[in-house]
Chain A
Amino acid sequence: MTAVATTARPLHSQRPARALADVAVITGRNLRRLVRVPTLLAFATVQPVLFVLLFTYAFGGAVHVPGTARYIDYLLPGIFVLSIGFGASQTGVAIAEDLGTGMIDRFRSLPITGAAVLAGRVAADAIRNLFVVGLMTGVGAAVGFRFHAGPVAAAAAVALAVATGVAFSWLNLLLGLAVRDPESAGLAGIFPVVILFFTSSTLVPVATMPGWLQAFAKANPVTVIADALRALCLGGPATRPVLEATMWLAALLAITIPAAIGRYRHAITP
């Protein structure tokens, strides 16, 4: 008998449109999970609100940043990224879970690329992060935050925050595929975020830190990104910090995307 008939996708399926449709299907799956899995929902809603309120009221009285009238103006751009960074750890958890439950085996047996599976996850994260930034801006506005540099700069700030989230998502996909265990993936995702954020300009100006820490804090990419976001939100020279932040993110993506896709290609349920 001749070759078995192909009932599934037709031969022109390699087209980019097909790949985008696959990304959209995976994105849809992850967005559904986002509103149905309690921990994911909490990471997207409760946590951002808590961050805004806790840091504003717990630190706001003590921290006076020269050149900014209100602490919330200084704080909010940085904790956009803090929230997104914590949320991204759930992406590593999710991919490790998919590995453990055989979901990755199933996806890998389907006529779709690994890049589509991972990109669908990242796209869902980006949509979540857009929501998170909007929510935090709303809560921030209620306690005094304002964009001071106009709508274009504000939009650029949101875009940079979401782009940072994209890089975090790819990093966590790589971590989740590397450590393979959901709990370890969660820790591996949170740990660097905590260290890098508290040694950056996110919460307090670098100038208030001891000298040895200042050197590290200045080189810390989270400082670079927080400063760029602050420039876009508050005004002042933004080109250079934004360019530096963009280069950091591009470098992170250039490493994590191929590494994550490479790992996915050989990933198998233990």
Chain B
Amino acid sequence: MTDAAITTEGLTKRFGPVLALNGVDLELPAGGVLGLLGPNGAGKTTLVRILATLLRPDQGRARVAGFDVSKRPAEVRRRIGLSGQYAAVDPFLTGAENLIMIGRLYGLTRRKASHRAAELAAQLQLTEGAGRLVRTYSGGMRRRLDVAASLIAAPPVLFLDEPTTGLDPAGRLALWNVLAQLTAEGTSLLLTTQYIEEAERLAATIVIISSGQVIARGTPDELKAKAGGDRLDLQAAPGQDLRRLAASIAALGSRQPAVDEAAGRVVLPVADGAAILPDVVRRLTAAGLQVSALALRRPTLEEAFLALTGQAAGTLPPETSAASSVPADAPRPAGKKRSTS
């Protein structure tokens, strides 16, 4: 029998009145990487906790590394590593002591655990702090140590719940490199993240969940396509009225244009950008509006995520009427990081 690393069918979990998961189906092939994106409260952590045997689902089934999480949790635990949202390391042990403790609890010998601890400390740039008590660590170091602890026994299936939250760019890069190497060697990884670039960089498949349901899944390219074709960036010339600019071309878009006051830009989602470019120019000319730059591009994954989760500030559903509904007071600092998870 062939086994996926993770399969879930109709996974449902309720906390009192809150339906945290509502019929989630997932599949992660062995050796694959799945990025779980979703706004806060979408159910990402609940899903990870069920897969890591910490919570029992109310309905549905989940298999991890070939074993049912409800019926054979002990078998599942032998084959998984978990790094949750907290840096779950003991502040009164040294970094090395923490890693060796977790390694030994996985059943490694002391010798093997020490060896792995040193190896991981080097990979995650923790060697310098390995002999120090964790209470002296920075937040980023604790986070990396926590991820290292989940890797100590080289488990075939790894769950990382927002692993790079709180890391500086160097720490994030070090972790990405370690994860890329692990997945290249065949570790299956399920990763939740707030950082869309992280999902795009590490995950072959991205699943977007919202309110406990899967609302989109696919490769980053597929998700960008689902979000409605290309994006047309219009950089307004100085002194131009952005709302007038947006209104003048709104009818040409596949969705409503987004107005970015801070950047002085209007972003228009378009189905077929090349075909409407002449129309865009004609309308701008007719309205007497000037742009300093006009660029056609694929949507970013961030734009796709915002469109698919219906979170986008500055974009509106396509059926809403054009000019009156362009929000003027919703600046979208494009390119800057948004808290989206």
Contact = CB atoms under 8 A, between A and B. Distances in A.
Interface string B46-60: 000100111100000
Given A29-B90, A36-B92, A6 B31 contact: no
Nearest to A10: B107
A240 interface: no
A10 to B, nearest CB: 7
Given A36-B92, A111-B74, A102 B156 contact: no
A2 B155 contact: no
B101 A29 contact: yes
B31 A1 contact: yes
B84 A7 contact: no
A5 B74 contact: no
Given A36-B92, A108-B53, A268-B55, A7 B157 contact: no
Majority-rule SS of B interface residues: loop
B156 A4 contact: yes
A106 interface: yes
A1 B29 CA distance: 9
Contact of B54 (A7, A9, A268): A268
A25 B153 contact: no
B84 A269 contact: yes
B102 interface: yes
Interface residues of B, number: 47
Majority-rule SS of A interface residues: loop
A103 B88 contact: yes
A37 interface: yes
Interface string A94-112: 0000000111011111111
Contacts of A110: 77, 102, 105-106
Interface in B100-114: 101-102, 104-108
B2 A109 contact: no
A8 interface: yes
Contact of A2 (B2, B53, B188): B2
A205 interface: no
A181 interface: no
A112 B85 CA distance: 21
A5 B101 CA distance: 23
A7 B31 contact: no
B90 to A, nearest CB: 6
B77 A111 contact: yes
- Lowest 9 A-B CB distances belong to which pairs? A9-B107, A102-B86, A102-B88, A4-B156, A109-B82, A106-B88, A8-B153, A3-B66, A111-B77
A268 B49 contact: yes
Interface string A39-56: 000000000000000000
B130 to A, nearest CB: 15
